[in-house]
Amino acid sequence: MPEIWLNYGITDVVLDIKAENLEQKIDSEGKILDDLTINEKLNALDLSKPLELVVLHNSKSVQKIITSLFTLCEQKSKPFPKIFTERKILNQVKSGLPEGSSINEFDDAEISNSNLVFVGEMEFNGLFGYETISTRLIKKFGQENMLSAYAKRHGNLPAPGKYSESLTEAKKFTDNFEIKGIEIVANSEGILDFSIGHPSETISSAHILESNSIKDVGEHKTMVISTGKDASNSTLSNSFSSLWNCSNAIKNDGLAILVAECKGGLGTETLQQFVEGRLTLEQLLNPSQYINGMEDLLFLSEIQKSFQIGLISILPDFYVKKLNMISMPGIKYSMDYVLKTQGMRQKVAVVADGARLLLR
C-alpha cells in the first residue's frame, strides 16, 4: 500500500491508498537554485540603502529569501532590513525569521515609500491568470481598481495561466508606486528562480512558472488535491486556487476532494456574507461595488455545474454545506467515501502541490 503525504496546515497527513486505486500522483518539478546562486541574484539589491521588506504571505521560499538576505547583509556589514507583514500572519512569519530580526505590522495604505521591497511567491490565479506581487497589492490597496479588474474577468469560470485584462489592471495599479519587489517562483522542494525589480516588471517570471508547472495529464473521474503549502490552505479562499488549477483535468460529473485545513476560516468577506445569507449569487454578476473574494464564489458556483467538490477542513459543516460542498471529516474518510460511492476499483489521481501546478 503506497503512502502519500499531503500538506494540511503546518503538518502533513497520510493518504493510505491501495496501489490498484492510485491512478497517478502528480507533483511539481524543476531545478532548485543553490545557496550560492540565490546570494548572487540578491546582490542586485542596493544594500547600502535602508531596506524595508514587506512579506505578502508566508512560505518556505519566502523565508529562504529573507534568511539569505540577512546572511548577505551580515557578510557585507550592512544593516539588516526591517520586516513588515499583515497582523494575521505576523506570528507565522516571525517564527521563521533569522536571529537578530524584528518584525512589525504593515497596515499603511501609503505604499509609495521607495525603500519598500515587497516579497511574494508567484502562483496561478483564477481571475488574473497569475498571483503576483501586483495582484496581491491591488487586492489589498486598490478596492476601486479591483471592481474594474473583476469586470474584465475571462467569463465566469476561472482562467489560471492566461494573461488577462485583469492582470493588466493590476500592473497599471502598481505602476503608480515607486517600489520594488522580489517575485519568487518555487515548488515543494525549493526556489526555482526569482526576479528583483518593479512589481509590474517582475511579472515576467511567469514564464518560469509555466515551464515547470503546466502538465498535460488527461481527464480524471476522481482527484484528491493538496495545495502543497500552509500559506495556500490557511483559508478556504486561499485554497480555491489549487482547485481552479486542476479543474480542467476533472471529468464532467467527477469528484474533486480539496485537502485544506482552513484554520483562518473562510478568508473573504464575500464568502462570509454568502454563508450568512446576506449575499446572493445573482449579485456577483454585475456588481456596482467590489467585495473581497467575489470571483471565488462566482467561480465555485459555475464549476459546481460540472463536478462535485469535497472538502477536508476544520470549517464548520454548516459553512461547507452552504457552499454546496461535501464536508469530509478526514483524509481516511475521503477514501472510504470514494470507494463506497464510486466502487472498490475506482482509480484516484492525487495532486501534491496544487497551488503551483496547472493541469490540462
Q: pLDDT tens string for the chain (360 positions)?
A: 678 999 998 899 999 899 999 999 998 888 999 999 999 999 989 888 888 899 988 888 999 999 999 999 889 998 888 899 988 888 888 887 877 778 888 876 667 777 889 999 999 999 999 999 999 999 998 988 999 999 999 899 999 999 999 999 999 999 999 999 999 999 988 999 999 999 999 988 989 999 889 999 999 999 999 999 888 999 999 999 999 999 999 999 999 999 999 999 999 999 999 999 999 999 999 999 999 999 999 999 999 999 999 999 999 999 999 999 999 999 999 999 999 999 999 999 999 999 999 999
Name beta bridge partners: 118.
54, 181
Residue type, 239: S
Which candidate, 109, 107, 116, places its Cα nearest to that of 179? 116
User: Using CB atoms within 10 A of its CB, is residue 139 exposed (0-12), middle (13-18) or buried (19+)?
Assistant: buried
- What is the topology classification, in CATH, of domain 3-28+216-359? 2-enoyl-CoA Hydratase; Chain A, domain 1 (3.90.226)
Which tens digit of pLDDT belongs to each residue from 136-158? 999 998 988 999 999 999 899 99
DSSP assignment letter at 81:
P
Nine cell digits for residue 353: 502541490
Q: How many residues would you count in the chain?
A: 360
Give the span between the Cα atoms of 118 and 26, in whole angstroms.
31
**Phi and psi at residue 120, in whole multiples of 5°?**
-155, 155
Cβ pair 353, 188 in contact under 8 A: yes
**Is domain 35-210 in CATH 3.40.50.11440, yes or no?**
yes
Q: Quick check: pTM over 0.95?
A: no
292-347 pLDDT, tens digit each: 999 999 999 999 999 999 999 999 999 999 999 999 999 999 999 999 999 999 99
Cα–Cα distance, 126 to 295 (Å, whole number): 8
Q: What's the angle, vertex CA 281, arms to CA 275 and CA 287, rounded to 5?
A: 115
What is the Cα–Cα distance from 243 to 224, expressed in whole angstroms? 10
Give the cell for residue 59. 512560505
Q: Please list the residues that pair with 236 across neighbouring strands.
A: none
Q: What percent of the chain has pLDDT over 70?
A: 98
Contacts of 78 (CB under 8 A, 6+ apart): 47, 48, 72
Q: What are phi and psi of 276, to 5 degrees?
A: -90, 0
172 grid coordinates: 497599471
C-alpha cell at 256: 474533486
**Residue pair 122/185 in contact by the 8 Å Cβ criterion:** yes
Rounded distance between C-alpha atoms, residue 246 and residue 37, angstroms:
32
C-alpha cell at 224: 484528491
The residue type of 76 is K
Residues facing 237 on adjacent strands: none
Evaluate whether 132 touches 183 at the Cβ level (below 8 Å). Answer: yes
- Rounded Cα gap, residues 359 and 86, in angstroms: 31
Say how far apart CA 143 and CA 149 lie, in whole Å: 10
Which residues, other chains included, contact 340 with Cβ-Cβ below 8 Å and sequence gap of 6+?
none
- Same topology, domains 3-28+216-359 and 35-210? Answer is no
Place of cell 482527484: 223
The structural domains of the chain, with segments of one domain joined by +, span 3-28+216-359, 35-210
